[in-house]
Homo-oligomer: A and B are copies of this chain.
Amino acid sequence: RRSHMAVSYTDPQVSMDLLRAVLQPSFNEDIMAVFRKYQKFFEKAAENVKENVGDDVQTDQLMREACRNVLEHAKQLFPEAEVNRGRSEAAIKRSRPAADEDYS
C-alpha cells in the first residue's frame, strides 16, 4: 500500500508513526505495568472457565485474547472523527474497519 513510505517524510501519518515507533517500547513498558495490576483477575477468570468448560481450555490464550480486547476497546479513548457530523462520513470512507486500523 504505502510503497512510497521510505521516502515520504512529509506524509503526516508517516511522520507521526515514526514518533510512535520510537515511543512504542516505553509505552509497552507502561502499558504492561497497567496490565499487571489486573492480571490476577484475568487469571482467576481463566481458571474458572477451565474448571467449568474443560481441560482443553487454554487459559494463557484466553488471557492474552482478553488483554488484546482491552487494548482494542481502549482505542475508543481516541475516537476517529471529532466532528459529530463527519463521523458517519469518515466511517464510510474507510475501506477497513476503523477498529483494525493500522497504517502498515
Residues of chain A at the chain B interface (Cβ within 8 Å): 10, 12-13, 15-17, 19-20, 23-24, 26-32, 34-35, 37-38, 41-42, 45-46, 48-49, 52-53, 57-58, 60-82, 94-95, 97, 100-104
Q: How far is the CA of A103 from the CA of B68 in the complex (A)?
A: 10
Task: Enumerate chain B residues within 8 angstroms of A101, measured Cβ to Cβ.
Answer: 28, 65, 68-69, 72
Q: How far is the CA of A27 from the CA of B62 in the complex (A)?
A: 18
Q: How far is the CA of A38 from the CA of B29 in the complex (A)?
A: 13
Task: Enumerate chain B residues within 8 angstroms of A41, measured Cβ to Cβ.
Answer: 19, 23
* Contact A27/B34 with A15-B45, A78-B64 known, Cβ cut-off 8 Å: yes
